Amino acid sequence: MEPADDQPASITPSRLSTIRRRKSADNKFGTCAPGGQCELHFEAAIFDLDGVITKTAAVHSMAWKRMFDDYLQIRAARHHEPFNEFAHAPDYLAYVDGRPRYDGVEAFLKSRGINLPLGTPEDLPGGETVCGLGNRKNALFNQIIEREGVSLFDSTIALIRELRQRRIKVGLATSSNNSAVILDKTGTTHFFATVVDGIEAAKLRLKGKPEPDIFATATANLGVPSARAIVVEDAASGVQAGARGGFALVIGVARENNARELRDHGADVVVRDLAETSLEQIDRLVQAKRASV
């Protein structure tokens, strides 16, 4: 894991050492069967998809850039203004990453002083509405993954396998509308006892990240209270949602050299990759956070 400054600020090394020695007051959690594995102090883990499980965050960024740059060039020519391209760090990460698609379109356009009608999800890709631009981005994304395929983060898959072996319920919560396609392409559908994605969120009228609705719905589907579930996210809006939802632990995965941003938005611990941590370390941090409240 990253140095101690990435641990929850209220959890000092001495306190963590004390917690490690404490016997859990909960008879169900933290106990060890004779000759067997210890029970963990949480019951469920909810994972984001893009950038946590799959190496598709870069594909999303590429599709967003192409869509927005095409549209911004059209506007620049129409209004005789300079073209100001869509950039990864100031634009994608700030306004789009982790958010529901149409929310991302609207947030970015407003940052440029552009107001478009919302339209409807049935708008043709590329139409001059929020939904039309969002649909164009989605079409570009699907073209790329159809052509190039989808890769997985092996360390995340290893952790999911271990969680399932320890009888921890695993769910997926993502703003993406493409989760079924991605899971099918990667052969990972069977890992998740519940999937709450953009399509399900729209049906249930759930608020998108940074609100905790999709994470809370996933834990409810698993029959687990949020306080007994951990969240694994790579987007600032996602860790913010986890922090607002009162989860047992929020793990930020800093794929974008954005560890500080993830901490500032509510991650309890930040790693560059899940290979930097272990199930036992995660469990100790859950205990430590619970004891510090």
Domain 4-56+151-292 CATH (choose: 1.10.540.10, 3.30.750.210, 3.40.50.1000, 3.20.20.30): 3.40.50.1000
Closest CA to 60 of 182, 144, 130: 144
Active site residue 273: no
Q: Which residues of 134-159 are buried (b: 16+ CB within 10 A; e: fewer)?
A: bbbbbebbeebbeeeebeebeebbeb
Decide: helix, strand or coil at residue 121: coil
Q: Is the pLDDT confidence value at 29 over 70?
A: no
**Domains of the chain: which residue ranges?**
4-56+151-292, 57-148
pLDDT at 1: 52
Active site residue 48: yes
Amino acid identity of residue 176, one-letter, is S
Q: Is the pLDDT confidence value at 15 over 50?
A: no
Q: Which of 5, 6, 26, 48 is catalytic?
A: 48
Q: Which of 6, 50, 213, 234 is catalytic?
A: 50
What is the sign, positive or negative, of the torsion defined by CA atoms of 265, 270, 275, 280? negative
More confident residue, 274 or 145: 274
Please state, in angstroms and rounded to a whole number, the distance separating the CA atoms of residues 289 and 21: 15
What is the pLDDT of the chain when averaged over all its residues?
88
Amino acid identity of residue 122, one-letter, is E
DSSP classification of residue 113? T
Model confidence pLDDT, tens digit, residues 199-255: 999 999 999 999 999 999 999 999 999 999 999 999 999 999 999 999 999 999 999
Model confidence pLDDT, tens digit, residues 155-177: 999 999 999 999 999 999 999 99
> Could you give the C-alpha distances from 31 to 17, 68, 99, 131, 169, in angstroms and in order?
18, 53, 39, 51, 18
| Residue 153: pLDDT band with limits 50, 70, 90 | very high
Are 126 and 132 in contact by the 8 Å Cβ rule? The answer is: yes
pLDDT > 90 in the chain, percent: 78
Q: In the numeric block, which tokens belong to residue 78?
A: 């129409």
Q: 79: Cβ–Cβ under 8 A, 6 or more apart, which residues?
A: none
| Residue 3: pLDDT band with limits 50, 70, 90 | very low
